[in-house]
Each structure stands twice: as structure tokens, then as C-alpha cells.
Amino acid sequence: MKAISLAANPRTLTKTTGSKKVRQSGRLPGVVYGNGDPEIVELETKQFDKAVQSTEAKNFLVELEIDGKKSMVLVQDIQKHPLSNLYIHVDFKRLTKDSVVTAQVPLQPIGTAEGVQQGGVLQTPLHMISLKGRPADIPESLKPDVSHLEVGQSIYLNDIELPEGVVALGSPKTLLVAVATSRMQMMAEAEAAATEAATEGEDTKESADAAEGEKES
């Protein structure tokens, strides 16, 4: 996972009213915690939004500069207003070179499944996967190749290849991707089965009528 550079300043305005004033000035309140004393900070909201838009991971690595001092942090939590969807607060977790973290990264299947070309439907029950490892080793996304999947075949969590030292959290049998029969396919198969059953019934009736005719003769 690549680190994104951001700059922050110590925040003097605290509590609810202080945080509101910080946001009104176009800056985002935040806190840096872990491996030392917590630091109350603020940073440019526009710059933070650019960082968020530049990655698809929910938890991403940041090289954060505060008063000229740089440190590696992980975006641990982002709070947004429920109505306006504007940023309210961000939590950074301070890291060391040996830190092991848990991060959520997006699942992005690549390729067109053979089963889809045959009329099936690609299903992805999960969109985010939790990974644990050193931040530099955690990929920004998981991109399993689904081109080989036929209808009825699936990819599970334990089928995903991960970098050394990185593990996926959850049951190994967690379903990630599957190719299912489409509704149109099911209707066509049901219609074909009904037609076949009707044909077999007519053949059976004709055979029975013929046998009855021979018996009467």
C-alpha cells in the first residue's frame, strides 16, 4: 500500500464548538493516536478529499507532516455528516516500521467469466475484504481473475493469493465471487424440461395405444 502525503497543523480549537469553527474555515478536525501521546490536529478538507479519491481502500496509508515532522499513519476512521455527507472528523493511527494493522480493501474482479458469456450472472456478495499485515505489504485492492469461471463455479476467500505476511480475516469458505444461472436461463431450462416431459408423455401414450391395438387384433 503506497503512502499518500498530507500536511496537518496542531489544533487549538477543541470540543464541539471548536470543531465546528474549524470545519467552517474549510479545515477538517482530526486526531492522531497510538505509539505515544494523542495529537489533536486539523488539515485542509480539500487535500484530504483528494487523498480519499486517489485510493479505493477504506483504510489507507498516509505520510503525515505536522510542524515539519513526518510520521507514518493509517486512516483508521472517517466520520461524515449523515445528511450532507461532508467530512466531520478523521482518526489517524500512528505506526512504526513493525506495526501490524487491519485494513479494509475493495474486491474488484477482473476479466469476463466464461459462464457470463454463456448467459450466466456474475455475483459478488462482498465488496470489501479485511486484511491484516504490515501496511506496506497490504494491497490497495484485491483483483481475482474470474475469466475461467463457468456457471455454478465460485471463488472463495481461501482461493485468493495474498502477499507474504498478509492474511485475510474471516472464514476461508467465505464466498467472494460466483457465476449463477440467470433467470432467463432458468426459464429456458424449465421450458425445455416441460417440453421434453410432454414429448415423453405423448410417446408413452402412442406406445400404449399401439400395444392396445395389437392386443385387440
Interior CA angle at 212 toward 209 and 214, to 5°? 110
pLDDT given for residue 96 in this prediction: 86
Q: How far apart are the first and last CA of the chain?
A: 87
Best CA proximity match to 36, nearest among 14, 60, 69? 69
pTM over 0.85? The answer is no
pLDDT tens for the 217 residues of the chain, in order: 889 999 999 988 666 677 888 888 999 999 999 888 899 999 999 999 999 999 888 899 999 999 889 999 999 999 999 999 999 999 999 998 789 999 999 999 999 999 999 888 899 999 999 999 998 899 989 999 999 999 989 999 999 999 999 999 999 999 999 998 866 555 555 565 666 665 555 554 455 454 555 555 5
Interior CA angle at 30 toward 24 and 31, to 5°? 155
205's enclosing H/E stretch is helix 183-216
pLDDT given for residue 200 in this prediction: 58
pLDDT given for residue 205 in this prediction: 46
* Rounded Cα–Cα distance for residues 202 and 196 (Å): 10
pLDDT given for residue 57 in this prediction: 87
CA 36 to chain centre: 32
* Rounded Cα–Cα distance for residues 92 and 4 (Å): 13
Q: Look up cell 477538517; give the residue.
A: 28
pLDDT given for residue 18 in this prediction: 74
* Rounded Cα–Cα distance for residues 138 and 32 (Å): 21
